[in-house]
Amino acid sequence: MAFEYAPAPESTAIVDIRASYGLFVNGEFTDPVDGTPFKVINPATEEVLAEVVEAGPTDVDQAVRAARAAYQDVWSRLSGADRAKYLYRIARIIQERSREIAVLESIDNGKPIRESRDFDIPLAAAHFFYHAGWADKLPHAGLGPNPRPLGVAAQVIPWNFPLLMLAWKIAPALACGNTVVLKPAETTPLTALLFGEICQQADLPSGVVNIVTGAGATGRALVEHEDVDKVAFTGSTEVGRAIARAAAGSHKKLTLELGGKAANIVFDDAALDQAVEGIVNGIFFNQGHVCCAGSRLLVQESVADELLGKLKRRMALLRVGDPLDKNTDIGAINSSAQLDRIRELSEVGDFEGAERWTAPCPLPDRGFWFAPTIFTGVSQAHRIAREEIFGPVLSVLTFRTPAEAVEKANNTPYGLSAGVWTEKGSRILWLADRLRAGVVWANTFNQFDPASPFGGYKESGYGREGGRHGLEAYLA
Ligand code: NAD
């Protein structure tokens, strides 16, 4: 039986959202030259939060110029130890302002406060701390005796982990001596703009970090700008392909972090209750808006019924609703467009003959919501087994032998992550050798650490972020 909880809403008093924002260029919030305003809404209530700028080509050009000047005149001349001090200061300010940032992130993105408070923001700070440690040790990173920065980095990020993706991009770039122009996603620009304030508070030299808001056209103007030396993109495979085509033949160094369709593989000897927690974390964390989500459950046939019974009982306890309530497990879908995509692919699942089961949880009347859902009877040919749904929807397939599990797990154009649940250590190693995925989690899922490189194979992109390997993307 589910417990009844009284609402425990986090106060929003700590957050100060302005009615309108400019762009953060050369250390100042500036009015756009050829940008136009657009509105940002709270996906849990559909209320307008603020007006921000869709930066035009001239705005983007000014940001790149500011980054170039800061690179030449200041940042590339500082010692690694001096750069480290700024990164360390930024990390400390993120920690000091963590509650404010977490509330703002949940309002803007729709993710539960529990996750922004305990995952997104602490991990963003950890990335700055970690890279502060590298800034004066780059000659020891195994990339040659005197690795050099590339110059100006153009960075484009998605909406699912707004501040965390910003940290993954900006921290290594700055540690390695580059300056940046970053474009947050159009639905979630507010914590990136707050990060502009944090740069001011840290006395970061003007122009080292520039934030231009906007949608696809702004992103395109940025990554195709002639005076950027590095392009780092996280987002859909489709846009990633277009960026790779545009960058082909240029001097720009490119890293792409794209989609995924990860297999979470459960063997009959696994601790099933723990596996259920891992499955729930794998697909319902952050509403399933996770590139490395365990969106394909592969369960050994002999335990499939037992496991699915346990999973459904667990899913019935998930609380969907107000992202700012500390009891909430699953928040709002980030946008109506994303909700449409999730609904559409789920309907394809019905049409193709898979069996849908939805957790019996009430949903709020306003805002964008999708109840946790699983599809059983899924075959490998189904679109819901092949395409990324990027929502709280799990496709369940079965297997009989380890070899069949590997074959099915690898039968995807993607290759970002995978999970294995078994009591046998030798089997974990055997599988990890054979799974074509950038990360393989064993008896756990969705574990992240700044010291551990993250990235994919095949259509999940190339290059790594985090760890020693992640530095390579920002050094010549
Ligand atoms: P998206 O590709 O549409 O947008 C991502 C970002 O790119 C946004 O900031 C967007 O404004 C910008 N953009 C759009 N068109 C552009 C263009 N032509 N040139 C330059 N920039 C452009 O993706 P989305 O819908 O925002 O995010 C969901 C997708 O991102 C999913 O497929 C997910 O798997 C992927 N993703 C991958 C990772 C990873 O680490 N591999 C992480 C998060 C999300």
| pLDDT (tens digit per residue) in 166-192 | 999 999 999 999 999 999 999 999 999
Tell me: pLDDT of 107 over 90.
Answer: yes
Contact 274/441 with Cβ under 8 angstroms?
no
Contact 398/299 with Cβ under 8 angstroms?
yes
Contact 384/283 with Cβ under 8 angstroms?
no
Q: Answer positive or negative: Cα dihedral of 290, 292, 296, 300.
A: negative
Q: Which two tokens stand for residue 119?
A: 């995952």
Residue-level pLDDT at 5? 84
How large is the average pLDDT for residues 447-472? 94
For 296-347, the pLDDT digits (tens) are 999 999 999 999 999 999 999 999 999 999 999 999 999 999 999 999 999 9
Q: What separation in Å is there between the alpha carbon of 461 and the centre of ligand 1? A: 12
Contact 259/459 with Cβ under 8 angstroms?
yes
How large is the average pLDDT for residues 63-74? 98
**Element counts in the chain: helices (H) and strands (E):** 16, 17
How large is the average pLDDT for residues 236-252? 94
How large is the average pLDDT for residues 246-252? 92
Backbone φ and ψ for 28, nearest 5 degrees, come out as -130, 155
Residue to mutate, 237, 239, 254, ligand 1, most ligand atoms under 8 Å from C-beta: 239
Closest alpha carbon to 233 in 220, 250, 249: 220
Instruction: Give the predicted TM-score (pTM) of the model.
Output: 0.97
Residue to mutate, 53, 234, 241, ligand 1, most ligand atoms under 8 Å from C-beta: 234
Residue-level pLDDT at 4? 80
DSSP secondary structure, 143-167, as one string:
S-SS--B-SEEEEE--SSSHHHHHH
Tell me: pLDDT of 398 over 60.
Answer: yes
CB atoms within 10 A of CB 44: 24
Decide: helix, strand or coil at residue 370: coil
For 85-95, the pLDDT digits (tens) are 999 999 999 99
Q: How far apart are CA 252 and CA 244, in angstroms?
A: 10
State how far Cα 160 lies from the chain centre: 5
How large is the average pLDDT for residues 1-25? 91
Decide: helix, strand or coil at residue 34: coil
Confidence of residue 428 (pLDDT cuts 50, 70, 90): very high
Catalytic annotation present for 291: yes
State how far Cα 473 lies from the chain centre: 18
Pairing outcome for strands 461-462 and 253-257:
antiparallel
Residue-level pLDDT at 274? 98
Q: What separation in Å is there between the alpha carbon of 341 and the centre of ligand 1? A: 14
Tell me: pLDDT of 467 over 60.
Answer: yes
| Ligand 1 neighbourhood includes 215 CB (under 6 angstroms) | yes
Look over the chain and give the mean of its residue pLDDT values, rounded to a whole number.
97
Express as a percent the part of the chain with pLDDT over 70: 99
From the CA atom positions of the chain, what is the Rg in Å?
22
Tell me: pLDDT of 2 over 70.
Answer: no
Q: Which residues have CB under 8 Å from 450's CB, separation 6+?
A: 123, 126, 127, 129, 130, 131, 171, 466, 467
| Ligand 1 neighbourhood includes 156 CB (under 6 angstroms) | yes
Q: How far apart are CA 48 and CA 165, in angstroms?
A: 24
Q: Which of 257, 387, 465, 472 is catalytic?
A: 257
DSSP secondary structure, 118-137, as one string:
IIIHHHHHHHHHHHHHHTT-
Q: What separation in Å is there between the alpha carbon of 40 and the centre of ligand 1? A: 17
Tell me: pLDDT of 1 over 60.
Answer: no
Catalytic annotation present for 176: no
| Ligand 1 neighbourhood includes 257 CB (under 6 angstroms) | yes
| Ligand 1 neighbourhood includes 291 CB (under 6 angstroms) | yes
Residue to mutate, 238, 258, 368, 465, ligand 1, most ligand atoms under 8 Å from C-beta: 258
Residue nearest ligand 1's atom 13 by CA = 216
Residue-level pLDDT at 110? 98
State how far Cα 247 lies from the chain centre: 23
For 260-291, the pLDDT digits (tens) are 999 999 999 999 999 999 999 999 999 999 99
| Ligand 1 neighbourhood includes 390 CB (under 6 angstroms) | yes
Residue-level pLDDT at 441? 98
